[in-house]
A and B are shown apart, each in its own frame.
Chain A
Amino acid sequence: MIGRSVRRLEDPRRLRGEGVYVDDVHLSGMLHATVVRSPHAHARLREIDAAAARAAPGVAAVFTAGDLMDALRPIPIRLVPDDRLLRYLQHPLAIDRVRYVGEPVALVVARSRAAAEDAAERVEVGFEPLPAATDAGSPPPAALFDYTPDNVASLIEEGFGDPDAAFARAHRIVRLTFRTGRHTAVPMETRGLVAAPDRGAAHGRGRLTIWGPTKVTHFNRGVLAAMLGWPEHRIRLVEPEVGGGFGARGEFYPEDFLVPCAALRLGRPVKWIEDRVEHLSAINHSREQCYELALALDPDGRFLGLRAEMTNDMGAYLRTHGTVVPGLSAGMLPGPYEMEAYRCRVRCVLTNKTPTGTYRAPGRFECNAARERLIDRAARVTGIDPVELRMRNLIRPERMPFARGTTILGEEVEYDSGDYPHALAEAASLSGFPSRVRGEAGDGEAPDGKAPDGKAPGGKEAGGRPAARYRSGWGLACFVEKTGTGPFEGARACLDRSGALVIATGAADLGQGLETCLAQIAGDALGVDHVGIIVRHGDTDLIPHGVGSFASRGTVMAGNAVHAAVSQLRTRLLERAAARLETEVSDLVIEADGVVRGAGGGSCTLADLAAEPGLETVHYFRCERMAYSHGVAVARVRVDTATGLVVPERIWLLYDVGRVVNPGLVAGQIEGGIAQGLGGALLEELRYDDAGQFLSGSFMDYLLPGTTDVPSIVHRDLGGSPSPRNPLGVKGAGEVGIAGIGGAIANAVADALGDAEGDSDRLPLTSERVWARARAMEAAGSPGSPRAPGAPAAGAGAAAPA
């Protein structure tokens, strides 16, 4: 059962259009809500006049901060809470100041969504605009919170060894400034909620049921209960079918309080469905970081030390992730490489932009790209081939488990298993990655014939002179991915009266195929076919404790919980069968169709055994140490220097995610992650003007990759390193596809255009930026000059230690 690419159990209903997503939930007497949002990046909030809106046709209520003042509590941090950060938390409605475009200031509830939206336009809000802080890297023109004039919410320090000593011994020091743009996850389904109070719920009787939450339903139930001052058992959160998450969807947002609160006050069901325009300015943003890096190398190209100064634009408030994302960057920046010393300092800076949180491979998409660009620059400066330079520094398999010396999510980073040099060797071989010893390849062009598909690597001319319009580039990135974050996940297993195995878990399905994956694991544990196993999830009534689906943890945490719970159930069931068939447990076999046979020829069905109650087990799998996947991403691009268009011609991804439950599901995660990575590397950017006006409020402005933007993808599971940290030996795969793409693309573009400082050292590499880079390259003279032998690349060289 485990290891097969079986068809997904989720597919038939989703292919028929029968899946029930939150906007498909329709309740009798249901009202519809819309959120009135701030059009200003920063303003004092004066009076709100909602009289005209309240008088508009079909309006049931308008709620402002004044109306809900006694109920407004800040939304707490979910991961790694820190009391020092409490004063930067967001309230569900702005109270006396708005701090970003899109911040909720009122909720309108009406008989239809159209009526609510009509009335929302009649809410008169008095704003007194203030200067806006939009650049985390420059002195702020305004303080978001009066008690923090520099807008620095937190400083993070991370590291090991003695960087001063390492840099003092350096043969060369290579520097890089690298930026990643603001992206967000953009699930195809926007957020939404339906909150339905029982009669009397507002008066301490009955319950409140909410459809639409996902990802971390148990945690969110606790947050809502605390905000309402209710016991948790009076609240039920139900995950419907969910149209994608990728880290952003499912956190506790302002609406997760406002909609239930409105339903309670009105005593009627209330639905809120986010539209795409508000989604882009309301859901967590991510990724906006700037790195100043310095790498110290010895004469053989071995890494002595790495120094990083990083600024993370947090947006206007700290949300449920607190400062987890920059913390992940600081803890994972050294990646898969040996080094004696490392020091990273992070400034977490508040700006008048949408608050931030996690998005698939949070903190690692960014830090992997920065580090891998730095290494390619070091290869250029030292004249060592980039694959060879990495080989000299990768952690070798005999060093596993490897104590990284850093901390993430309060846990010491210790890589559990993996052969990193093997992955790189395979990646270079499979992709035909051109060797690039100084002076050999020249001008960032691959020697002809290296491309495995037999195509010439691009329309360029020998030696790169005169300048060809189309230039080819190759880039790669090595990475380690943290997966399987604890502390626990649970599973309940039982046989229903028909003999069907029913699993319940606190993990969530956001489209990834959790039901199929857990059914395969359950089928493996029981010894029956996975088809017919029922996996239920995402409903807080199913199981008392749950953590959820994030951080590539579903298969690791819920998978091992299911395996243990079903194994225990199997033991109980065989004991019962042995008594019934008057034989020994050791003489029994469970066949794939669920018939239990004894050696003596007697048999019974699972339904026979389930006729009496009691076949039910619960197991909570605990794991204090994460499992670490790893991989190598390779990109071959073609750059049109006349237009700045970067065409990724082919992507290779070699990965090791431990034991694989369903290769097809893993392939889906890999390919989907790669496509998102290409979006973040080339197209997607949430932009603001200097006044903090949001400029990316539609899919015409925020460009997602489509079928013609994503090239042929070659990926291969290297296997070979099951995790020693859980009985199944599995590691997470959800973020492996995206983790290295930014670095591979940035390196490929730098290879094509020459490695000079400038806009090629930021993501996304939009046509506009690449075109400007190509013009600068032309203006500087020969297109090959940045690569000319003997000429150190700009911004690098044997400079004094940092």
Chain B
Amino acid sequence: MSDAVSELRDVEVTVNGTVRRERVEPRLTLADFLRHTLGLTGTHVGCEHGVCGCCTVRLDGAAVRSCILFAVQAHGRRIETVEGLADGESLHPLQEAFSDHGALQCGFCTPGFLMTAIEFLDRYPDPDEEAVRDALSGSLCRCTGYQSIVAAVLDAARRLRQGG
């Protein structure tokens, strides 16, 4: 087994617009690659079995769980993480709405919720509450009780429709 894991593979990905090339173990998860190889620790790991949604990032635009993907599977693809959401000093309208509505407390699940919600809003810019709850049902938050998160996403949808 130790021989197998030492066979390093080249991975080239575009993360938040920047091309990154690394040599990694085939068994390295995408979450650990982002966090520990690239130092993008905004992506959090809450369960390592694909249930809690904390590690959600976008892979070629789709919201995916980076804890159950290998880094090598992302080779040649485009990744967006929470670090890429804000525009310099300006928070993204979704981030602003989260703060306005009290949609985060400890902040551990927040990056996953943001990346899930932003993909959802890209596809459905004018959702109702039921659709938002459905879209976020794969992410767990232990602090907020979700009401504020749902309100924030609905508010963010309004802000984005009005041009941010």
Contact = CB atoms under 8 A, between A and B. Distances in A.
A189 B108 contact: yes
Contacts of B2: 56-57, 118
B150 interface: yes
Interface string A647-687: 00000000000000000110110111111100000000000
Interface string B130-149: 00111011111111111111
A710 B91 contact: no
Given A512-B105, A513-B105, A16 B82 contact: yes
A189 B141 CA distance: 10
Nearest to B109: A188
Contact of A188 (B52, B95, B132): B52
B145 A710 contact: yes
Contacts of B35: 23-24
Question: What's the dominant secondary structure at chain B's contact region?
Answer: loop
A712 B147 contact: yes
Most buried by A among B25, B35, B145: B145
Given A707-B136, A707-B137, A17 B43 contact: yes
Most buried by A among B42, B109, B111, B138: B42
B106 A186 contact: no
B41 A20 contact: yes
A695 interface: no
B143 A707 contact: no
B54 interface: yes
Contacts of A276: 46-49, 52
A11 B104 contact: yes
A242 B44 CA distance: 12
Determine the interface band of chain B, counting residues with CB < 8 A from chain A. 35 or more
Interface in B7-45: 25, 27, 35-36, 40-45
Interface stretch (A40-48, A158-166, A696-704): A696-704
B164 interface: no
Contacts of A57: 2
A658 B100 CA distance: 24
A579 interface: no
B52 A699 contact: yes
B41 A17 contact: yes
A187 to B, nearest CB: 6
A189 B46 contact: yes
Contacts of A7: 99-100
Given A276-B46, A708-B134, A186 B102 contact: no
B106 A511 contact: yes
A707 B116 CA distance: 13
A243 B44 contact: yes
Contact of A713 (B114, B137, B145): B145
B42 to A, nearest CB: 2
B144 A243 contact: no
B57 to A, nearest CB: 11
Interface in A725-769: 737
A571 to B, nearest CB: 35
Interface in A21-74: 21, 23-24, 26, 56-57
A185 B143 CA distance: 11
A706 interface: yes
Contacts, number: 179
B137 A17 contact: no
B92 to A, nearest CB: 8
A277 B52 CA distance: 13
A670 B132 CA distance: 21
Contact of A706 (B40, B46, B99, B139): B139
Contacts of B25: 114
Given A188-B140, A276-B47, A706-B139, A16 B95 contact: yes
A698 B47 CA distance: 8
A17 B140 contact: no
B24 to A, nearest CB: 12
A244 B41 contact: no
B141 to A, nearest CB: 7
Nearest to A16: B86
Contacts of B60: none
Contacts of A114: 5, 25, 27
A513 B143 CA distance: 11
B25 to A, nearest CB: 8
B69 interface: no
Nearest to B67: A276
Interface in A243-277: 243-244, 246, 275-277
B45 to A, nearest CB: 7
Nearest to A7: B99
A17 B80 CA distance: 13
A721 interface: no
A668 B134 contact: no
Given A17-B41, A189-B44, A706 B145 contact: no
Contacts of B107: 10-11, 13-15, 19, 241, 243, 511
B128 interface: no
A453 interface: no
A699 B1 CA distance: 29
A241 B150 CA distance: 24
B150 A244 contact: no
B81 interface: yes
B145 A675 contact: yes
Given A511-B143, A675-B146, A707-B149, A23 B137 contact: no
B122 interface: no
Given A189-B44, A241-B107, A672 B144 contact: yes
Given A276-B46, A708-B133, A671 B52 contact: no
B105 A672 contact: yes
Nearest to B112: A188
Contact of B102 (A185, A665, A704): A665
A322 B14 CA distance: 52
A510 interface: yes
Contacts of B5: 114
B91 to A, nearest CB: 6
A392 B107 CA distance: 44
B142 A698 contact: no
Given A15-B91, A23-B41, A673 B145 contact: yes
A8 interface: yes
B105 A118 contact: no
Contact of B46 (A11, A188, A672): A188
Given A190-B46, A276-B48, A14 B104 contact: yes
Given A16-B95, A675-B145, A706 B106 contact: no
Interface string B70-101: 00000000000111011000010001001110
A246 B82 CA distance: 26
A11 B98 contact: yes
B54 A698 contact: no
Contacts of A21: 41, 44, 108
A188 B99 contact: no
B110 interface: yes
B51 interface: yes
Contacts of B134: 707-708
Contact of B142 (A10, A672, A712): A672
A12 interface: yes
Given A16-B86, A668-B148, A188 B108 contact: yes
A189 B105 CA distance: 12
A691 B44 CA distance: 35
Query: What are the 7 A-B residue pairs with the smallest beta carbon separation, nearest first?
Result: A17-B42, A511-B106, A14-B107, A243-B108, A671-B145, A675-B145, A699-B51
25 contacts: A11-B99, A11-B107, A12-B91, A14-B107, A15-B82, A15-B107, A16-B85, A16-B86, A17-B43, A18-B42, A188-B106, A244-B142, A276-B48, A511-B143, A664-B102, A667-B102, A667-B148, A668-B148, A671-B145, A672-B105, A672-B145, A675-B145, A699-B140, A707-B134, A707-B150
Given A188-B109, A710-B147, 9 more contacts: A11-B98, A16-B95, A188-B143, A241-B106, A243-B44, A675-B145, A699-B47, A706-B140, A712-B147
